[in-house]
């Protein structure tokens, strides 16, 4: 596996691949790789004959006061995991490489207003602008045919799909189902922040989601009641929920009568750790 840190070096490699007719699948990450990331890499490996993984802790998607400074960096271990999975290039640029004009407020930016202000976007203002901007840059650097994202970050996945469609990127977005620990907790780098007691409590998020999603399948009339019960139940389990909300699964709009394809999304704090998860809720 080549480890590249500069944009020109990456471009040169990618250009040579393209000239030889190779297809490229890309997995953008912030490192601290876990089984969820590795499922994305394995999917990428199936899709194309060249796989690029990026590790870049993107400062512009962290809101003031968030965990940018303490975000876990495990580059040596990540490198070993990616080498084992026959990744062709690990791209781990510096901030200056991705933001050549620095991080001041006047940097070029990409926004997807249809999806960036609700749910996580409402609680993390500017987060999805940072995501859309860095993904645009990375797409232009890697120039993949496929980019692979996890369903775990459901709102992000829809936002990236819409970004690609609206801005006409010649890229197919492939999604991979959430990878869960044996007790149901969704794999996430931030799980590492949990204390032992919190870690034992954390799977409750998934349990409450599934219970509420099943209740909505049985009786889809009173979603607001089910949402309220979910918020209360999470609070009773020691979470501080930000939202617990049914949405249409394809565009995250509020459900209308008769909508059959829903998703229930939540974000909740457990101590100093913010967890997100969701459950699909598909009426037959």
- How far is 245 from 196, CA to CA, in rounded Å? 28
Check if 37 is active-site: yes
- Is 204 a binding residue for a second copy by CB under 8 A? The answer is no
Query: In 3D, which of 60, 123, 55 has the Cα closest to residue 89?
Result: 55
Q: Is 20 in the site for a second copy (CB under 8 A)?
A: no
* One residue of 113, 182, 258, 284 binding a second copy per CB under 8 A: 113
Contact track, a second copy, 146-165, x by CB under 8 A: ----------------xx-x
Asked if 143 and 23 count as a contact pair (C-beta separation under 8 A), the reply is no
Phi (first) and psi of residue 279, to 5 degrees: -135, 130
Residues 6+ apart with CB under 8 A from 168: none
- At 226, give phi and psi (nearest 5°): -65, -40
Dist. CA 196–CA 199, nearest whole Å? 5
The reply to whether 143 sits near a second copy by the rule CB under 8 A is: yes
Query: Interface with a second copy includes 7 (CB under 8 A)?
Result: yes
Residue 19's CB is within 10 A of a number of other CB atoms, namely 8
For a second copy, which stretch binds (CB under 8 A), given 80-88, 137-145, 213-221, 224-232?
137-145
Distances (CA, A) of 92 to 26, 32, 42, 76, 166: 13, 13, 19, 12, 27
Q: Tell me which residues in 54-83 interact with a second copy (CB under 8 A).
A: none
Residue 257's CB is within 10 A of a number of other CB atoms, namely 6
Whichever of 163 and 223 has its CB closer to a second copy, that residue is 163
- Two tokens at 178? 């959430």
* 237 secondary structure, DSSP code: T
Of residues 37, 43, 137, 206, which one binds a second copy by CB under 8 A? 137
Q: Which range in 35-43, 65-73, 100-108, 176-184 contacts a second copy by CB under 8 A?
A: 100-108
Of 167 and 224, nearer to a second copy (C-beta) is 167
Interface with a second copy, residue 110, by CB under 8 A:
yes
The residue from 37, 127, 206, 278 that is catalytic is 37
Active site residues: 37
Please report, as ranges, the residues that interact with a second copy according to CB under 8 A: 7, 11, 15, 18-19, 21, 98-101, 105-114, 132-133, 136-138, 140-141, 143, 162-163, 165-170
């Amino acid at each position: 596996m080549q480890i590249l840190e500069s944009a020109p070096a990456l471009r040169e490699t990618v250009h040579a691949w393209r000239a030889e007719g190779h297809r490229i699948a890309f997995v953008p990450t912030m490192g601290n790789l876990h089984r969820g990331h590795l499922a994305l890499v394995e999917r990428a490996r199936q899709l194309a004959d060249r796989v690029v993984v990026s590790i870049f802790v993107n400062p512009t998607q962290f809101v003031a006061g968030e965990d940018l400074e303490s975000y876990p960096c495990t580059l040596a271990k990540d490198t070993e995991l990616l080498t084992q999975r026959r990744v062709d290039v690990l791209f781990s640029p510096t901030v200056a490489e991705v933001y050549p004009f620095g991080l001041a407020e006047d940097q070029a930016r990409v926004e997807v207003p249809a999806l960036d202000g609700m749910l996580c976007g409402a609680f993390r203002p500017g987060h999805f602008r940072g995501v859309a901007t860095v993904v645009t840059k990375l797409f232009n650097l890697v120039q993949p045919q496929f980019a692979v994202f996890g369903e775990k970050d459901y709102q992000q996945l829809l936002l990236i799909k819409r970004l690609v469609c609206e801005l006409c990127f010649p890229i197919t977005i492939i999604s991979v189902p959430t990878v869960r620990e044996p007790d149901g907790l969704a794999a996430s780098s931030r799980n590492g922040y949990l204390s032992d007691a919190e870690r034992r409590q954390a799977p409750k998020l998934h349990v409450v989601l599934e219970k509420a999603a099943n209740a909505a399948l049985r009786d889809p009339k009173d979603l607001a009641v089910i949402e309220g019960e979910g918020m209360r139940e999470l609070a009773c389990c020691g979470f501080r929920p930000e939202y617990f909300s049914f949405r249409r699964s394809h565009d995250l709009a509020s459900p209308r009568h008769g909508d059959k394809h829903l998703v229930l999304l939540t974000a909740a704090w457990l101590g100093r750790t913010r967890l997100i998860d969701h459950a699909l809720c598909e009426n037959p």
